[in-house]
């Protein structure tokens, strides 16, 4: 068996112990005589699995009792519609902060359901950064304020939680949920596709304050009405059972590793290792403002893009895979989510030094 260091932006690397356990339990989960994939979602075995997953997630993120956790489908791209459908609640529109490609996709989709006020944007100008809070032109009557806490493509991340007063803060945390502790009570709603820090694609996590449930637009498919999903314990439609099981194994792994405080330190150290190296050489560079560099997705460039193909080929030969940058920004991107061990980043930096020595 061979295992690579997988820098994919998502679906992304999973903890190896999780995969080992999943393989071992594939044909017979805990003596049930069934794979988790084969279990009725309403049977006692799967009900226990789903309940444990929710309990662990609640514990890891310290989710307050007045928040519901929903297991849904469709990923963040479906949520771009499902959020305004559920969250406009009679308001004319919502405020969105534009910090990159994922924000802009959320904005474009939300415009189909209500007025969208882009209160701040980093689309213009040179450096790639998060617009400072005092530049945001918020509407006190907005249904909510939407942010993307980590831009997977651009590589910018909020390292602070915006104060938006009494208007609910809605966050797409697809690519940094569970990477560090957060104060859930500062948010009205958090959503995240699973395929970065949680588990397999096809599962979406929604964490929503109870008083925000209800009043979805009449055209909302019932399966995507947060209130209905909450009332049915995420079993209004058949949930993605195997993805929930894997997510539960990941949550267990996170807990055993010391929870999100330990994970934040792990991620801070990995990111610092890579950014410090990028700053130490002119052969490579990071285009991101220092105070909002992502701990999860590190885009970087070679000083000469003619070397890109050779760089990727050499990396691949060393088992350092999926480093090609997103087509929108080009260059390279190292995604170093929770499951990426420090050894993976060390191996990447060692290779980058080696490549620089050979081509510098």
* Residues flagged as binding site: 42, 102, 152, 172, 195, 237-238
Task: Tell which one of 218, 282, 313, 357 touches a second copy (CB under 8 A).
Answer: 218
Q: What are the residues whose beta carbons fall under 8 Å from the beta carbon of 149, sequence distance 6 or more?
A: 157, 158, 171, 172, 173, 176
CA dist., res. 344 & res. 285, Å (int): 20
Residue the block writes with tokens 């620089």: 356
Applying the rule CB under 8 A, the residues between 15 and 34 that interact with a second copy are: 16, 19-20, 22-24, 26-28, 31-34
Task: Tell which one of 188, 200, 331, 344 touches a second copy (CB under 8 A).
Answer: 200
Residue 233 near residue 212, CB atoms below 8 Å: no
338 binds a second copy (CB under 8 A): no
Q: Six-digit token pair at 66?
A: 């007045």
From 10-18, 130-138, 139-147, 206-214, give the range in contact with a second copy by CB under 8 A.
Answer: 10-18
Applying the rule CB under 8 A, the residues between 285 and 314 that interact with a second copy are: none
224 binds a second copy (CB under 8 A): yes
Q: How far apart are the first and last CA of the chain?
A: 35
| Least distance CB 119 / a second copy (angstroms) | 23
Residues that are catalytic: 102, 172, 196
Applying the rule CB under 8 A, the residues between 149 and 178 that interact with a second copy are: none
**Which of 110, 66, 104 lies closest to 328, judged by CA?**
104
197 binds a second copy (CB under 8 A): no
Which one, 21 or 285, has the nearer CB to a second copy? 21
Applying the rule CB under 8 A, the residues between 56 and 115 that interact with a second copy are: 73-78, 80-82, 85, 109, 112-113
| Least distance CB 40 / a second copy (angstroms) | 4
**Which of 251, 259, 202, 260 lies closest to 49, judged by CA?**
251
CA angle 197, 203, 207 (to 5 degrees): 75
User: What is the secondary structure of 243-256 as a DSSP string?
Assistant: HHHHHHHHHHHHHH
325 binds a second copy (CB under 8 A): no
Helix (H, G, I), strand (E, B) or coil at 108: helix
Tell me, residue by residue from 238 to 267, as one string, x for binding to a second copy by CB under 8 A and - for no binding: xxxxxx--x---------------------
């Amino acid at each position: 068996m061979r295992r690579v260091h997988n820098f994919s932006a998502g679906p992304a690397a999973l903890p190896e112990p999780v995969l080992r356990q999943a393989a071992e339990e594939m044909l017979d989960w805990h003596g049930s005589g069934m794979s988790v994939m084969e279990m009725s979602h309403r049977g006692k075995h799967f009900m226990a699995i789903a309940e444990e997953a929710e309990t662990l997630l609640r514990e890891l993120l310290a989710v307050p009792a007045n928040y519901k956790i929903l297991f849904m489908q469709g990923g963040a791209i479906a949520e771009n519609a499902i959020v305004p459908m559920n969250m406009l609640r009679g308001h004319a529109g919502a405020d969105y902060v534009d910090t990159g490609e994922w924000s802009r996709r959320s904005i474009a989709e939300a415009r189909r359901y209500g007025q969208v006020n882009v209160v701040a944007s980093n689309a213009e100008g040179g450096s790639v950064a998060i617009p400072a809070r005092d530049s945001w032109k918020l509407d006190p009557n907005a249904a909510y304020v939407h942010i993307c806490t980590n831009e997977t493509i651009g590589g910018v991340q909020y390292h602070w939680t915006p104060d938006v007063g009494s208007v609910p803060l809605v966050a797409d945390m697809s690519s940094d949920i569970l990477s560090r502790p957060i104060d859930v009570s500062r948010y009205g709603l958090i959503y995240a596709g699973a395929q970065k820090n949680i588990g397999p694609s096809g599962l979406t996590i929604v964490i929503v304050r109870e008083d925000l449930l209800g009043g979805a637009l009449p055209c909302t498919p019932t399966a995507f009405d947060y209130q209905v999903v909450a009332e049915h314990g995420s079993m209004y439609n058949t949930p993605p059972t195997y993805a929930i099981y894997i997510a539960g194994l990941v949550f267990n792994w996170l807990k055993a590793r010391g929870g999100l405080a330990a994970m934040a330190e792990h991620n801070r150290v990995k990111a610092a290792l890579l950014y410090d190296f990028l700053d130490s050489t002119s052969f490579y560079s990071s285009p991101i403002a220092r105070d909002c560099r992502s701990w999860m997705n590190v885009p970087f460039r070679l000083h000469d893009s003619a070397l890109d193909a050779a760089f990727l080929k050499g990396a691949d030969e060393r088992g350092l895979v999926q480093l090609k940058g997103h087509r929108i920004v080009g260059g390279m991107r190292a995604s170093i989510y929770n499951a990426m061990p420090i050894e993976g980043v060390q191996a990447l930096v060692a290779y980058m030094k080696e490549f620089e020595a050979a081509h510098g």
